[in-house]
Amino acid sequence: MRVGRDEMSDVKKFDDLPEKTKLFLSNLREDEVDTLNDGIQLVGSIKTVGVFIKWVIIGVLGIVSGVVMFAESIGKFLAWFKAG
């Protein structure tokens, strides 16, 4: 039977961590843990906003190039009538 994450004892949870990491985590105060959690959430939010901004920029560039191509086609179409 596999031991679940919640069933694992506190001692065995950190067995495979490097000593430097164990020392760092053991010396954290509660407010520092809260700050780390907030920082992790902030990084996730920044990544989400970054992806959104990337697609906004790609969309705007696509719209601008589409408008330019459409205007150029209208210009060619009107030129046919003026020439004829």
Overall residue count recorded for the chain in this entry:
84
pLDDT tens digits, one per residue of 26-83: 899 999 999 999 999 999 999 999 999 999 999 999 999 999 999 999 999 999 888 7
Residue 36's closest CA among 48, 51, 21? 21
* Mean pLDDT for the stretch of residues 5-22: 77
The domains of the chain are located at 10-83
Contact between residue 14 and residue 22 where contact means Cβ atoms under 8 Å apart: yes
Contact between residue 25 and residue 14 where contact means Cβ atoms under 8 Å apart: yes
* Mean pLDDT for the stretch of residues 9-36: 87
In this structure, what token pair is assigned to residue 69? 């191509």
pLDDT for residue 54: 98
Q: What phi and psi values does residue 8 have, to the nearest 5 degrees?
A: -70, 135
In this structure, what token pair is assigned to residue 81? 């009538």
